[in-house]
Amino acid sequence: MSAPRLTKGAVPATRGVVGTSMRRVDAAEKVTGAARFTGDLVVPGMLHGRVLRSPHPHARIARLDIAAAERMPGVQAVLTGGDLLGATFAGTDPYYGHAIKDRPIVAIDRVRFAGEPVAAVAADDLAAADEALLAIQVDYIDLPAVTTVQAALAAGAPRLHEGPLRPGLFHGLGELRLEEGNICYHYHFARGDLNRAFAGADEVVEGEYTFPAVYQYAMEPHTVIAQWGADGLTVWACCQHPYLVRAELADVFGLPLSAVRIIVPYIGGGFGSKSYTKMEPITAALARKAGRPVRIVNRVDEAMVTTRRHNMTCTMRTGAMRDGLVVARQCRIWLDTGAYADNGPRVAATAGDAAPGPYRWQAVDVDAWAVYTNTPPAGSYRAFGAAHLSWIGESQIDALARKVALDPLEFRQRNLLRPGEEVRPGGKPLDADLIGDVTKVAAAIGWGGPKPPLVGRGVSVGLLTAGAHPVSTAAIRLQADGTAVLLVSTSELGQGARTVFTQIVAEELALPPDRIRVMGADTLFTPYDRSTGASRSTTLAGKAVQHAAVNLCEQLLEIAASAWGLPRASLAVRDGAVWHETERLSYPDLIKKHFGMVGGELIGRGEVRPQHGTGSYAEGPVFWEVCVGGAEVELDPQTGQIRVRRLASVADVGKAINPQLVEAQEEGACLQGLGNALFEEMLFEDGHLVNGSLLEYRVPTTADLPDEFRSILVENADGPGPYGAKGVGEGALAAVPAAIVNALADLGIDMRQLPLTPERVWRRARELGLAPRRDRS
């Protein structure tokens, strides 16, 4: 049975749990320190692992001698690339990678980035493991390194990957073409006649832009425990996508899916840094060699060379008419994906798709390349694609508005797509009221009102392809006493998935929330959910949960109808029972009737799959997540420092299952956006990360909070999720840098590089001849 159809614009009435700011079901555990993360778990016989990492960005391994390390007290095993080709790992494919299988579990013969694992040690304690690392002897022969996109694309540049690239299991991008040289992936689309459109344009703006490598900094670093047993491989890990990791590990180690079990405790932040496969293969391989369970915990500097956001250069030009209508945009994007693809192809595709922005174009032409370099691999980070491009496209929109003497808000109102319009050919039409959204956000920052000197305002609008792949299942086990256990494989990263699902089950099954138990993902028990990311969990896994609850209701209604000899339509579910007028049969009553004893259970199941086509990236997205933000900033021209006075973002969520948690996600996304905009930047010198510590990599603190922040909730019941919901939590991260860049442009300072460090802003202000404010006396 399908969920009730909703009329557009009507926010559905519910029984009163969905739509309330119910307390998080995991909060009590977390505030008392009882919540267990992977690093808090100990498995009997567990060894502690440490990884030896290459100091060179590109080198051959001439000699690797682990004999001394192996003999050290407390050392139980040392793993090297050579092992992967030997007898212990017969049947193992040493390469993994969900998009492109280009990543060896441990370096084999060659290292491609400074920080690449070369060996791993399992010992009785960390001190012994650390000592053993020092005893491993490695001779490297330096190879010429290409540590920038420019160097990697130059003629004669050394190739990072020889031979044909092998597609991974889950790239989801249709056919993966092999590219030339160090190009990992190329994405291109075009429509309309670009040259004609630009030729006819009254105004054209163009520029070159630079975007930094940024570190997700989930506060819990990557942590994995792996254990081999008679029934296969068990892994406890901070995985955002346990089922994808399971598939990869099964593929790598030549195991059936059912022989690989992934258990996911609470995760201390994900933000994409724990998406797909990261430290699981090396931990599993080390455990296999050791013949005992092994736990590996990354240090923060190791986590930073495990994954990061793609740095990027971009050229863009946009044309518009004097009357304020845009006509054409051309964009070329080069993303530095580091030494291995990780999610590079997907990031390139979403960056390309984000480049046009949600506007009505006559012609668009976009190329995006993901390029291999000898730097640590880049992967997913919240709002990828839109975070990369929104600030660029939106700054050109503002520049054009100024050229045709139109207010930037009005310019957008004229050009933004409306709900139902095509965003890209063959894909999902726009499902959000962007004009309404941006108008609200502008009002929230006082748009149009008087501005003190050195204060600027900016707004931004963008779209994110959200939902990833729409495949999710869920099951609910209704116990003999009427309590329910929800089985769903969404990872609890902090976003509140377990709470939202509890609310949905409570709503559909008319059960008090405290009678519902939801556990974390365990692939042995919780059924398939494709992934936790791309803002998909409430919308898709939540939908599967809703279906499972509805399916359970059906079963309960059937049993009651049969017991009473009444038609189904005359019965209703309410307060943990099925009712006919004033007569009731509670769930325990119904279960007892069904099984003839006190015992047994009813199992409801729910499933979400593509409604048409294959649910591929090109056919989607599942929904468009809005990236709408506004910023009011004050500039200190003496130092170039920007103070954010007001910040606003729009959470266009269709239906807020838990409004407080929506707001909480928005607040976090905005502050990450602020960090990305103002100071977050990974600094590399010749492929070496030079600020690999929180002392030198700055993340936002309470001191960086804007004076005022507003999260505007928009509920138009226009999402494909339960009750018309659609996801949230990423858009603000893309919108905030764009809004801040535009707020600075409002002051006449156009910036072409992020982050907007005080030095960079100061230099640009000086170049533009902006006089410093008089000294305060």
Give the integer Cα–Cα distance in Å for 191 and 193: 7
For residues 299 and 568, which CB has a smaller minimum distance to other proteins in the complex? Answer: 299
Q: Rule CB under 8 A: is residue 769 a binding residue for other proteins?
A: no
Subset of residues 583 to 642 that bind other proteins, contact rule: CB under 8 A = 638-639
Cβ closest to other proteins, residue 188 vs residue 299: 299
Residue list 745-764, contact with other proteins (CB under 8 A): 757-759, 762-763
The CB-of-111 to other proteins minimum distance in angstroms stands at: 21
Stretch 656-685 residues interacting with other proteins (CB under 8 A): 660-661, 663-672, 679, 683
CA–CA gap between residue 501 and residue 282 (Å, rounded): 33
Among 297, 509, 571, 651, binds other proteins (CB under 8 A): 297
- Sorted by sequence, the CB contacts under 8 Å of residue 112 that are 6+ apart come out as 57, 58, 160, 339, 340, 374
CB of 643 to other proteins, least distance (A): 13
Contact flags string 11-50 toward other proteins, x per CB under 8 A: ----------x-xx-xxxxxxxxxxxx-xx----------
Hey, which residues does 330 pair with through a beta bridge? 317, 365
Supply the DSSP symbol for 538: I
- Determine, following the binding rule CB under 8 A, whether residue 7 of this chain makes contact with other proteins: no
Q: Tell me, what DSSP letter sits at residue 596?
A: T
Distance CA 184, CA 100 (A): 9
* CB-nearer residue toward other proteins: 359 or 684: 684
Catalogue the long-range contacts made by 23-27 (C-beta closer than 8 Å, 24 or more residues apart).
23/499, 24/496, 24/498, 24/499, 24/661, 25/498, 25/499, 25/502, 25/513, 25/518, 26/266, 26/492, 26/498, 26/499
Q: Least distance to other proteins from the beta carbon of 651, Å?
A: 13
Tell me which residue of 499, 525, 496, 526 sits closest to 514, measured CA to CA: 499
Looking at beta carbons only, is 280 or 663 nearer to other proteins? 663
Q: How far is the CB of 36 from other proteins (least distance, A)?
A: 7
For the segment 688-747, give every residue that binds other proteins (CB under 8 A).
Answer: 690-691, 693-696, 698-703, 705, 709
Which range in 89-97, 278-286, 296-304, 584-592 contacts other proteins by CB under 8 A? 296-304
Instruction: Return d(Cα 573, Cα 478) in angstroms, integer.
Output: 14
Binding to other proteins by CB under 8 A, coded x per residue (else -) over 89-128, reads -------------------------------------xx-
- The distance of closest approach from Cβ of residue 16 to other proteins in the complex, given in angstroms and rounded to an integer, is 19
Residue 640's nearest CA partner among 698, 679, 590, 596 is 679
**Sequence-ordered list of residues with C-beta below 8 angstroms from that of 89, at least 6 positions apart, any chain:** 83, 285, 288
Cβ at position 354, least distance to other proteins in Å: 23
Burial class (CB in 10 A: 0-12, 13-18, 19+), 580: middle
- Amino acid symbol at 464: L
Binding mask 244-283 for other proteins (x = CB under 8 A): ----------------------xxxx-x------------
Identify which of residues 109 and 130 has a Cβ nearer to other proteins in the complex.
130
Show the tokens assigned to 687.
Answer: 């492929």
CB of 465 or CB of 495, closer to other proteins: 495
CB 344 within 8 A of CB 354: no
Q: Would you say 268 or 344 has its CB closer to other proteins?
A: 268
Tell me how far, at minimum, the Cβ of 667 lies from other proteins, in Å.
Answer: 3
- Beta carbon nearer to other proteins, 2 or 702: 702
Q: Which of residues 120-179 bind other proteins (CB under 8 A)?
A: 126-127, 130-131
Measured distance CA(398)–CA(741) in Å, rounded: 10
Q: Which of residues 495-534 bind other proteins (CB under 8 A)?
A: 495-496
Question: Mask of contacts with other proteins, 199-238, x by CB under 8 A?
Answer: ------------------xxxxx-----------------
Q: Is 775 in the site for other proteins (CB under 8 A)?
A: yes
CB atoms within 10 A of CB 113: 27
**Residue 1 carries which side chain, given as an amino acid letter?**
M
* Tokens 């990360």 belong to residue: 689
Q: Which amino acid is at 688?
A: H
CB of 215 to other proteins, least distance (A): 11
